[in-house]
Structure 1
Amino acid sequence: MATCFLNNVYCCYLPAHCSHGLQPLDNGVFNASKAAYRKELQKLASLTDSAPVDKVNFIKAYAKARAVGMTKKNILSGWRVTGNWPISRRKALMHPEIQPDKKETTPGSDGHRDGQVDSDHTPTTSRHIRDLGKNKSPSTRRRYSVISRGFEAQESKIASLGTRIASLEEEVGRLSRGKKRKAIPNPNKRFMTLAEALVACGAISEPNEAIERADAVEDVIEGGGMEEDERSNSEEEELTVVRTRAGREVRIPRKY
C-alpha cells in the first residue's frame, strides 16, 4: 500500500464474490474491448479465408481493440454503472443477478386477485388504490389518483420515520452494551492512515534536525564565552604593579 500511495495509486477494496457487479473494468472497459476484438477477428477471418490466427495477427487485433475500448469515456462509465463513483448503493443492489425470482402468475389468477383487492381486502399500496379506479368514470379515476398521491406521501413519511427509529435503536443498543466489540479493520481507512503516517515521518525528521543544529550552535557560543573569560583573566594578571618610594601600590587606570 505504501508503494501505491507513493506512486499516486489509490487502492479500492471491494467485498468478496461481487466483482461481476462492482468491478469497473468488468462492466465498462472489458466489454467494449471484447466487442472491438471480435470485430477485428471477423475482418481478419474474412481476409485470410479461415486461416489460423497467429501471434502477430492477435497482437494487431488486440492493439486496435484496446484503442477502441480503453478510453476515458469507457473507464468513467464503468465506475458510474457499478455505483462506485459517484457512490450509489441503489445501482449495486439493483444488479439483475441478485434480484429475487419473480413468481409466475396466470391471467386468471391476476383477475381473481384484483377482484379480491376490490371487494374484500384493504389496499396496502398506492398502486392498489390506482388499480381500484380502473374501468371507472374519469371523475372516479381522478378521485382515486388524488387518494393514491396522499397515500404515497404517507408511505414516504412512514419510511423516513422507520429509518429514524432504526438508527435510534441502534444507537441505544450501542450505548447500552457494556462489553466492547472487536472492531473490524477497514482496509480503505488503513490505506489512508498509512499515507498520514508517511507524511508524519517526514514532518518529524525536520524538527529533530533543527533541534540538533540549535544545540550545536549553543555549544559553540558557550565555548567561545569561556575562551573570552580566560583571555581577560590572563590580561589582568599580566598588568605590572607600580609602587611609590614609600612602598604603596599605584593602580593604573584602564584604557577603554
Structure 2
Amino acid sequence: TTKVGKANFLEFYAKAREIGLRKKNVQSGWKATGLYPKNVAKPLNSRWVVVAKRPAIPLRATSDISTPKRGGDVVKLFAEKSGSPTSRLSIRKAAAALDKVAMEVILRDREIEGLRVQLAQAKPAKRRKIVQDPNERFASLAQANREPQQRVQKARNAVQEVIIVEGESSSESEEEPALARR
C-alpha cells in the first residue's frame, strides 16, 4: 500500500494488459464462449443498446490555420479535393507517416516519464530533524524510529496531547530534586 508499491503494480498491470488484451486474444475469447457475433455491427444495432446523446454544440466557422496533429486530419484536409489515385495514395502515406511519428513521440514521452519515476525512487529520502529530549544527552535509534509515528499521533490527538503535557509538567517537578541531589 505504499506509493512505490502502487506504482510498481500499475506498471506491471499495464505491461500485462498490453500482452493480454490483443485483438486475437479478445476474438478467441468471444469465440470460445460462443458469443462471437458473425456480424460485428449487429449487437450495436440492438434496441437494448443505449447510445449516449451528445449535447448539440454549434459548430463555429474558423478560418484559423491549424497544423494537422493526426493522420486523419491530413486525410480530412484533402478529402474534399478528389484527386487522382496517386495523389490519394501519397496523402494516405503521409497520414500514416504522421501517425507513426506521433506514436514514437508518445512512446518516448512515456519512457522519459518512467525513467523520471525510477530516478525519483532511487533518490534517498530526505532526513528530518529529530527533536531530542532535553533530559537525554543523545538521541537513540528507537526515538528516531518513533518520531514519524509521533507526528501522526500528534495530528490526530491534539486534545490528548494537551493532557499529556500537563501530566509531564508535574513529573518534571519530581525529577528536579533528584537532579539537585547529584
Which TM-score band (shorter chain)? 0.3 to 0.5
The structure richer in helix per residue is: 1
Larger relative contact order (CA 8 Å, sep ≥ 6): 1
Q: TM-score by structure 2 length?
A: 0.35
